[in-house]
Amino acid sequence: MEISCHTLIVGAGITGLTIARELIEEGVEDIVIIEKENSLGAHASGRNSGVLHAGIYYSPGTYKARFCVEGNRLMKEYCRENGLALKETGKVIVTDEIRQDVLFELKKRADQSGAESIIIDHKQLREIEPYAAPSEKALYSPNTAVINPMEILVSIKEELESTRKVRFMFGTSFSGLRDSSIAITNQGSIRFKKFINAAGSFADKIAHSFGVGSQYKVLPFKGTYKRLVKKRSYLVRGNIYPVPDLRNPFLGVHFTRGIDGYVYIGPTAIPAFGREEYGLLNDLSIESLSILGRDILLFFTNDGFRAAAVSETKKYLRKYLLSEAKKLLPEVKMDDIQDTPKVGIRPQLVDWNSKKLVMDFILLKDGDSLHILNAISPAFTCSMAFAKHVVKEF
């Protein structure tokens, strides 16, 4: 069986959905979106923390810095217009005196990106988060919010289907090209004029099948979460974060009051052995050996990765996680923390030529195909603004 379309999008995550939405705005009327899973949100888009980031962390000029602030505004607007869950809780970033220089670096980055942020003193911090660790200076982000990612995915899908210009094919995996304009899938072939690769953790493999981005490979990191028992959730009003290690793209374990009212602790960023290894060694394959080899090599060649790998792996231990949590919330106790089934995989891209973790989104254009790699946090927040850029570039 062969079908035809103007634009074929691989991946029904937030990136693929928002790009389809923008293509329709530009007059494209025949879009097919294929998704290897049988439903929305099985991976990163549906498993993220639910935090709508404000644009504080990112180096000026990067895609993340350029699109996070506007993406935050557009996503909030979409939630309000469609009656979707949105809690504008704000966020504080706390630190000790030793790392105050990083706090001021974050403030500088926020200012350059147009993100609203305020250096606050101990008294102001107590007014916002009464139980946060005492900090002589903290950074307050009023525009950080929390949303329900699955609710947004479903809403955009329904919106796209209502236009009758988008066809969804779930349970459909991309397996290669017959020529430059025919995609092979497990459900038959699809002839296209334009091709957009928004396949998340498998985007590098699809790019390689087009002969582009061979230097980029995914290294998966597992994000696990704990949460405060309900009776102690009053300890956190919104979001409490530490200052991050700017050598790597992880923000560190933090507290987030979710849409469901629970306060989550996490995520970790533990090197994983599979792109979908959500359980304990449940996604082992031949590629797992390759991933292990990348782990070992990066451990010895990249300072940022080595520091992250050592500290994050320790967070599997409740005692170590508690010690990290107490740096942000001194009153938290072991009995306050309970397990959750919440877990995600961050498909972190590595530039194998430089042996460095890639810190930004990557766009690779090759003729009539466009490949979006490393669409990791804050990709959900950036998505609506980033999609406008992608369609304009394409």
Determine the pLDDT at residue 300. 47
DSSP β-ladder status, 137-141 and 118-121 = antiparallel
Per the prediction, the chain carries an average pLDDT of: 91
pTM: 0.93
Domains of the chain from N-terminus onward: 1-50+148-214+360-394 (3.50.50.60), 216-351 (3.30.9)
Q: Which residue has the tokens 């990066």?
A: 298
Say if CB 219 and CB 211 are below 8 A apart: no
Give the residue-averaged pLDDT of 352-369. 93
Q: How confident is the model at residue 277 (pLDDT cuts 50, 70, 90)?
A: confident
pLDDT per residue over 183-195, tens digit each?
999 999 999 999 9
Determine the pLDDT at residue 250. 80
Nearest to 161 by CA among 45, 325, 20: 20
CA distance linking residue 377 with residue 241, whole number of Å: 15
271 pLDDT higher than 90: no
CA dihedral 283, 288, 292, 298 (to 10 degrees): -100
Give the residue-averaged pLDDT of 377-385. 97
Determine the pLDDT at residue 197. 98
CA distance linking residue 48 with residue 345, whole number of Å: 9
CA dihedral 136, 142, 146, 151 (to 10 degrees): -170
Determine the pLDDT at residue 268. 82
119 pLDDT higher than 90: yes
Encoding tokens for residue 236? Answer: 């956190």
CA distance linking residue 249 with residue 309, whole number of Å: 12
Give the number of C-alpha atoms closer than 13 A to the C-alpha of residue 119, restricted to the C-beta side. Answer: 14
137 pLDDT higher than 80: yes
Say if CB 151 and CB 85 are below 8 A apart: yes
133 pLDDT higher than 70: yes
Say if CB 336 and CB 228 are below 8 A apart: yes
Nearest to 389 by CA among 35, 26, 50, 9: 26
Determine the pLDDT at residue 155. 98
271 bridge partner residues: 221
Q: How confident is the model at residue 219 (pLDDT cuts 50, 70, 90)?
A: confident
Q: Is the dihedral of CA 347, 88, 15, 367 positive or negative?
A: negative
Which amino acid is it at 335? D
Q: 163-167, 344-348, 369-373 — which is least confidently predicted?
A: 344-348
pLDDT per residue over 305-337, tens digit each?
666 655 666 665 778 889 889 999 999 999 999
281 pLDDT higher than 60: no
